[in-house]
């Protein structure tokens, strides 16, 4: 059985059918890996993978990032439902993390080692909303005018989860959980060269917040402008989930966000994340002395 790869109507992305991710031979894996590099995001309908099968498939791409301070947290539910079936309340911290996912982001850029890829599969989806949207930051970079390309060429931004969650009024306790950086926020170039394809790509999102050499208002305006410019057709794909779908995106060149939905409806997704390669995804450690103590504010990028 050979997979059928159908490009999505956007600058990136493909749907892969005629494949069983729970039983992947090496030849088929090679086709998947090549397609991942060519299309940067892949949708596999009708897979219904168990946690173990999703971890095994994800491990083909590299080391699995632990999504909590728990060696067993290789596949975690991204869910608004408690084990007893009740739905999270707005003041619960997990609810605030879910709301954070509704802002444009690249996974784990606030950690020293950013993610290589994100994998998400759908178990229970709400009748409306709850889609996942992905913009192509390579195409975003390519479409910039030359003056902007020149302006951003040497710039870097700090990335912090404390900062991005504070924008939602959520104060993440430092030192206790996932997302902790203790030596200043990671500093990452705004333009990244993809380690496999060599393509240049914008690299920012909601965790990015301050640019050395620019004053804060100017940095904020620039980050905002780059996001707004990038996140438009034909550079964007919105995935409407059907239970059993699995999607993988290349966090080195594709951003993403969840779309809102009625929070009284359960939405249960299963996530795995693949660690970046230290040669290309390890950040310089920033010296931002204001990296802690972020005040809650009302904006959400
Ligand atoms: C993630 C994420 C978005 C969604 O799993 O990293 O941001 O649609 N998910 O749930
Ligand atoms: Mn994410």
pLDDT at 73: 84
Instruction: Read off the tokens for 37.
Output: 């590099």
How high is the pLDDT of residue 77? 86
Residue nearest atom 10 of ligand 1, based on CA coordinates: 258
Q: How far is the CA of 14 from the centre of ligand 1 (A)?
A: 18
Residue 289 has pLDDT above 70, yes or no: no
Asked if the model's pLDDT at residue 298 lies above 70, the reply is no
The ligand 1 atom at the shortest distance from the C-alpha of residue 257 is 3
Give residue 234's Cα distance to chain centre: 19
> Among 114, 187, 117, 198, which residue's Cα sits nearest to residue 154?
187
Give the Cα separation of 249 and 8 in Å (integer): 13
Which residues does 267 contact at the CB level (< 8 Å), separation at least 6?
79, 80, 81, 124, 125, 126, 130, 261
Residue 158: pLDDT over 60: yes
Q: What is the mean pLDDT of the chain?
A: 91
Residue 32 burial (CB count, 10 A): 20
Q: Give Cα 211 to chain centroid, integer Å.
A: 21
- Report the C-alpha gap between 100 and 257 in whole angstroms: 9
Q: What is the CATH number of domain 4-277?
A: 3.60.130.10
- Residue 240 binned pLDDT confidence (cut-offs 50, 70, 90): very high
Whether omega before 234 lies within 30 degrees of 0, making that bond cis, reads yes
Closest ligand 1 atom, residue 101 Cα: 7
The answer, yes or no, to whether residue 284 has pLDDT greater than 90, is no
Q: Fill in the DSSP letter of residue 137.
A: H
**Interatomic CA distance for residues 212 and 22, integer angstroms:** 46
| pLDDT tens per residue across span 91-127 | 787 888 888 999 999 999 998 899 999 999 999 999 9
Q: Calculate how far, in angstroms, residue 226's C-alpha sits from the geometric centre of ligand 1.
A: 21
Query: Is residue 101 within 6 Å of ligand 1 at its C-beta?
Result: yes
Q: What is the pTM of this model?
A: 0.93
Mean pLDDT within 243-251: 98
CA dist., res. 87 & res. 203, Å (int): 34
Q: Ligand 1: which of 119, 120, 164 to mutate, judged by most atoms within 8 Å of the beta carbon?
A: 120
Q: Quick one: average pLDDT of 184-213? A: 95
Backbone angles phi, psi at 169, to 5 degrees: 80, 20
Q: Which pLDDT band, with edges at 50, 70 and 90, does 180 fall under? A: low
Domain boundaries, the chain: 4-277
CB of 211 closer than 8 Å to CB of 219: yes
């Amino acid at each position: 059985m050979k997979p059928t790869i159908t490009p999505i109507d956007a600058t990136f992305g493909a749907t892969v059918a005629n494949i069983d991710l729970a039983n992947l031979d090496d030849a088929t894996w090679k086709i998947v890996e090549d397609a991942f590099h060519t299309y940067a995001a892949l949708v596999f309908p009708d897979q219904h993978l168990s946690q173990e099968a999703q971890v095994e498939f994800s491990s083909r791409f590299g080391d699995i990032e632990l999504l909590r301070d728990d060696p067993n947290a290789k596949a975690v539910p991204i869910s608004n439902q408690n084990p007893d079936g009740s739905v999270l309340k707005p003041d619960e911290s997990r609810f605030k993390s879910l709301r954070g996912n509704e802002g444009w982001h690249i996974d784990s850029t606030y950690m020293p080692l950013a993610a290589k890829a994100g994998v998400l599969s759908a178990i229970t989806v709400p009748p409306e909303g709850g889609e996942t949207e992905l913009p192509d930051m390579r195409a975003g970079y390519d479409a910039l005018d030359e003056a902007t390309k020149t302006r951003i060429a040497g710039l870097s931004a700090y990335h912090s989860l404390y900062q991005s969650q504070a924008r939602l009024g959520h104060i993440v306790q430092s030192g206790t959980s996932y997302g902790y950086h203790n030596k200043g926020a990671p500093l990452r170039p705004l333009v990244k060269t993809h380690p496999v394809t060599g393509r240049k790509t914008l690299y920012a999102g909601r965790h990015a917040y301050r640019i050395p050499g620019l004053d804060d208002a100017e940095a904020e305006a620039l980050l905002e402008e780059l996001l707004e410019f990038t996140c438009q057709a034909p550079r964007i794909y919105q995935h409407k989930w059907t239970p059993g779908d699995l999607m993988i995106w290349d966090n080195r060149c594709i951003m993403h966000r969840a779309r809102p939905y009625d929070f009284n409806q359960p939405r249960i997704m299963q996530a795995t994340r693949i660690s970046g390669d230290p040669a290309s995804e390890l950040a310089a450690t920033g010296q931002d002395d204001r990296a802690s103590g972020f005040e809650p504010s009302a904006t959400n990028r």
